[in-house]
C-alpha cells in the first residue's frame, strides 16, 4: 500500500470511521476505514464536492456499487455498502491489503512472463464472470488491478461498467471512456460500442506493459495513439524485449489488433493464447507410450486427398506443421481421444498460433510453386485407426462453467522437445524423396549444359593449336 496520511476534517461517515487516506483523484477520495459495529476493515470511496451536482457521475457512482454487489467472485473487489452522509454519497468496498499492479510496475519496471501470466489469468477469471453476466468493464489497466500480500489478484473500479444490452444512457455518443493507452480503438471513438473484445484489448495492453516494462504507445498524445492503433502500428513486444517468447509476442499482438474480429474472442481464449494450453479438462484414456496429458489423435488429408489418422505429442505435431509435413493446415482436425470430437487447429490453443499463420498465407503464393510430376503410387495400406470424414461438422467446444475456467499449470521452464515425429505414411515420404532426386538430377544436367557451352570454344582452340 502507499504511505498513508491522516484523513482531513471529516473523521467518520455513516457507521464508518475514516482512519487514513489511501488515494485521491479528481473522481473521488478513497480512505481506509473501519466499521464501528463489526470492527471490519474496509475501503471507503467518497464523492468529491465538485461532482455532487453532476447527475451522470452520481448515477455511475451508484452503478459501481450495484455492479460490484452482483459480481461475487474472488477476483473482483466486493462491494459491501452504499450510503449518503447528507448530500455526499459514499461506497464501501472490501479492503485489499497489498498494492496495485501499477504500483508494482513502478517499483520493479517489468515482470517475468510466468509472473505476468499468473496475474493476468486471475484478472481474466474475474472479467470472465462479468462478461458472462453481460457486463463490460471498459477500464482494465494496471491501476485497477490489486494484488494482495499473499498473491491473490482482484479487479476493481467498476464505475465505467456497461451492460451489453443497455448502456443506461450514461455514455454520450462519440465519447470514449477509459484510459487511452490501454483502450481499444473502437472504444476510443465511441464508448457505446464497447464490447467483450474491448476488454480483451485492454487485457493484452496490460500484459504488454507487464512483460516489456513500457506503456503501449508511450510518449504519444491520445489522438496520436489512436491513429497508431487503427493502423496497427504497435511496436512488437519482442522488438522491445527480444528475450520474450514468440508465443507471448504473438498472443499480445493478436489481441491488440485494430480489427476486433482478429482478437481472442473471450478471456478464456486469451489465456489459452498466452499459455498454449487448454483451460478445459483432458479426458483422454489411452496413451500409447505418450503422457496422457500430451496425447493427440489427428486426421488430415495429404496432397492426394488421402485421409490419414495418426497420434502423437503436442511438440511433434507442432514441428510437423512448421516443416510442412501435414499439408493444408485447414484440413487438419485433432482430438484428445480416438472417438473425438475432432476440432480444427484454430480451436485448440496448443496449435492456434501456427495454424493461423499457415492458414492466413495467401493462396496465390502456393499457386506459384512448381507442381511435381505425377509419380506412380503404391497401393495404400488400410489403417486400423478410425477415420473421421472431413465433411463431418465440427461440434462446439464445451464452454465450461459460467463463472470460471481452469487456469493451466505454468511450467517453470520450457520443456525439452521430445524426439518424436508423427507417423507420416511411408508412401508420402517415398514420393517426396523421389521428387527431391528428380530436382537434383535436373539441376545437375542444367549445370553440365552451361559448363559445356562456355568450355567448348576453349577446348576447340586447344585442338587447333596442337
Domain ranges of the chain: 5-94, 98-275, 292-365+381-424, 426-466
Percentage helix, strand, coil for the chain under 3-state DSSP, each rounded to 5: 40, 15, 45
* Cα dihedral 330→184→57→80 (10° resolution): 50
What's the rounded Cα separation, in Å, for the pair 99 and 369?
57
Fold of 98-275: Transferase(Phosphotransferase); domain 1 (1.10.510)
**DSSP 8-state assignment for residue 150:** T
pLDDT for the residue numbered 459? 56
- Computed over every residue of the chain, the mean pLDDT equals 75
Peptide bond into 341 cis (omega under 30): yes
Out of 115, 139, 167, 199, the active site residue is: 139
pLDDT for the residue numbered 436? 66
pLDDT for the residue numbered 29? 85
Q: How many CB atoms lie within 10 A of CB 393?
A: 6
pLDDT for the residue numbered 141? 93
What's the rounded Cα separation, in Å, for the pair 439 and 127?
56
Is residue 131's pLDDT more than 60?
A: yes
Phi, psi of 311 (to 5 degrees): -140, 155
For residues 404 and 236, the model is more confident at 236
pLDDT for the residue numbered 387? 35
Helices 352-359 & 246-255 angle (0-180, nearest 10): 60
**30-44, 160-174, 242-256, 274-288: which range is least confident on average?**
160-174
Mean per-residue pLDDT for 294-322?
83
Cell numbers 485421409 label which residue?
307
For the chain, percent of residues with pLDDT exceeding 70: 70
Which CATH number is correct for 5-94, 3.40.50.620, 3.30.70.270, 3.30.200.20, 3.30.70.520? 3.30.200.20
For residues 162 and 445, the model is more confident at 445
What's the predicted TM-score (pTM) here? 0.68
Q: Is 151 left (phi over 0), alpha (psi -120 to 50) or beta?
A: left
What's the rounded Cα separation, in Å, for the pair 203 and 189?
19
Is residue 56's pLDDT more than 50?
A: yes
Mean per-residue pLDDT for 81-93?
89
Q: Which of 195, 104, 192 is nearest to 145 (CA)?
A: 104
- What b-and-e string marks burial along 226-257, b requiring 16 or more CB atoms within 10 Å of the CB? bebbeeeebeebbeebeebeebbbbbbbbbbb
The pLDDT-based confidence of 292 (bands split at 50, 70, 90) is low
Longest dimension (CA), the chain: 121
pLDDT for the residue numbered 122? 95
What residue ranges in 167-326 does DSSP mark as E strands? 296-301, 307-312
Is residue 231's pLDDT more than 90?
A: no
The pLDDT-based confidence of 382 (bands split at 50, 70, 90) is very low
Q: How many CB atoms lie within 10 A of CB 193?
A: 17
pLDDT for the residue numbered 403? 55
The C-alpha cell at 428 is 508420402
HSE, side-chain direction, 13 A CA sphere, residue 443:
6
**Which contiguous run of DSSP H or E holds residue 142?**
none
Mean per-residue pLDDT for 114-131?
94
Contact status, residue 45 vs residue 91, Cβ threshold 8 Å: yes
Question: In sequence order, which residues have a C-beta less than 8 Å from that of residue 50 and are 6 or more positions away?
Answer: none
DSSP states of 267-299: HHHHHHHHHSS-SSPP-----TTS-GGG-EEEE
| DSSP β-ladder status, 88-94 and 98-100 | unpaired
The C-alpha cell at 236 is 512488437
Contact status, residue 252 vs residue 208, Cβ threshold 8 Å: yes
User: For this structure, is 139 an active site residue?
Assistant: yes
The C-alpha cell at 156 is 476493481
Tens digit of pLDDT for each residue in 361-381? 444 333 333 343 443 444 443
**62-66, 293-297, 394-398, 462-466: which range is least confident on average?**
394-398
For residues 24 and 298, the model is more confident at 298
Is residue 95's pLDDT more than 50?
A: yes
pLDDT for the residue numbered 291? 59
Contact status, residue 323 vs residue 314, Cβ threshold 8 Å: no
Is residue 57's pLDDT more than 70?
A: yes
pLDDT for the residue numbered 280? 66
For residues 455 and 223, the model is more confident at 223
For residues 456 and 335, the model is more confident at 335
The C-alpha cell at 235 is 511496436
Is residue 421's pLDDT more than 90?
A: no
For the chain, percent of residues with pLDDT exceeding 90: 29
Contact status, residue 445 vs residue 453, Cβ threshold 8 Å: no
pLDDT for the residue numbered 434? 61
HSE, side-chain direction, 13 A CA sphere, residue 114:
6
Is residue 290's pLDDT more than 70?
A: no
Amino acid at each position: 500500500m502507499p504511505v498513508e496520511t491522516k484523513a482531513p476534517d471529516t473523521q467518520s461517515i455513516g457507521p464508518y470511521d475514516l482512519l487514513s487516506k489511501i488515494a485521491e483523484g479528481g473522481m473521488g477520495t478513497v480512505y481506509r476505514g473501519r466499521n464501528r459495529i463489526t470492527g471490519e476493515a474496509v475501503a471507503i470511496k467518497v464523492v468529491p464536492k465538485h461532482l455532487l451536482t453532476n447527475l451522470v457521475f452520481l448515477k455511475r457512482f451508484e452503478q459501481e456499487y450495484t455492479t460490484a454487489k452482483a459480481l461475487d467472485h474472488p477476483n473482483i473487489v466486493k462491494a459491501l455498502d452504499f450510503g449518503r452522509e447528507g448530500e455526499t454519497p459514499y461506497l464501501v468496498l472490501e479492503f485489499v491489503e497489498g498494492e496495485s499492479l501499477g504500483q508494482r510496475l513502478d517499483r520493479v519496471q517489468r515482470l517475468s512472463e510466468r509472473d505476468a501470466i499468473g496475474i493476468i489469468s486471475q484478472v481474466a477469471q474475474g472479467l470472465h464472470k462479468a462478461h458472462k453476466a453481460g457486463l463490460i468493464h471498459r477500464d482494465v489497466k494496471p491501476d485497477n488491478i490489486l494484488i494482495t500480500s499473499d498473491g491473490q489478484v482482484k479487479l476493481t473500479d467498476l464505475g465505467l461498467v456497461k451492460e451489453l444490452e443497455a448502456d443506461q444512457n450514461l455514455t454520450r455518443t462519440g465519447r470514449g471512456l477509459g484510459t487511452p493507452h490501454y483502450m481499444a480503438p473502437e472504444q476510443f471513438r465511441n464508448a457505446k460500442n464497447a464490447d467483450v473484445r474491448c476488454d480483451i484489448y485492454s487485457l493484452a495492453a496490460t500484459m504488454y506493459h507487464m512483460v516489456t516494462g513500457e506503456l503501449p504507445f508511450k510518449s504519444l498524445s491520445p489522438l496520436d495513439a489512436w491513429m497508431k492503433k487503427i493502423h496497427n502500428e504497435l511496436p512488437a513486444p519482442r522488438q522491445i524485449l527480444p528475450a520474450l517468447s514468440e508465443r507471448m509476442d504473438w498472443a499480445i499482438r493478436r489481441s491488440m489488433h485494430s480489427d476486433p474480429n482478429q482478437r481472442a474472442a473471450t478471456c478464456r481464449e486469451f489465456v489459452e493464447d498466452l499459455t498454449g494450453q487448454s483451460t478445459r479438462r483432458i479426458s483422454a484414456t489411452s496413451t500409447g507410450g505418450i503422457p496422457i496429458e500430451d496425447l493427440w489423435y489427428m486426421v488430415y488429408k495429404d496432397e492426394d486427398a488421402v485421409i490419414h489418422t495418426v497420434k502423437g505429442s503436442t511438440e511433434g505435431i507442432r514441428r510437423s506443421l512448421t516443416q510442412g509435413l501435414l499439408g493444408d493446415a485447414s484440413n487438419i482436425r485433432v482430438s484428445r481421444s480416438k472417438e473425438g470430437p475432432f476440432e480444427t487447429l484454430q480451436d485448440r490453443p496448443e496449435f492456434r498460433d501456427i495454424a493461423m499463420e499457415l492458414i492466413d498465407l495467401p493462396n496465390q503464393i502456393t499457386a506459384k510453386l512448381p507442381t511435381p510430376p505425377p509419380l506412380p503410387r503404391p497401393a495404400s495400406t488400410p489403417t486400423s485407426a478410425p477415420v473421421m470424414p472431413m465433411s463431418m461438422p465440427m461440434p462446439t467446444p464445451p464452454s465450461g462453467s459460467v463463472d470460471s475456467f481452469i487456469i493451466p499449470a505454468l511450467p517453470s521452464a520450457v520443456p525439452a522437445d521430445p524426439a518424436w515425429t508423427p507417423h507420416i505414411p511411408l508412401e508420402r515420404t517415398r514420393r517426396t524423396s523421389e521428387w527431391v532426386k528428380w530436382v537434383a538430377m535436373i539441376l545437375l544436367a542444367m549445370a553440365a549444359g552451361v559448363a559445356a557451352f562456355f568450355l567448348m570454344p576453349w577446348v576447340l582452340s586447344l585442338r587447333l593449336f596442337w
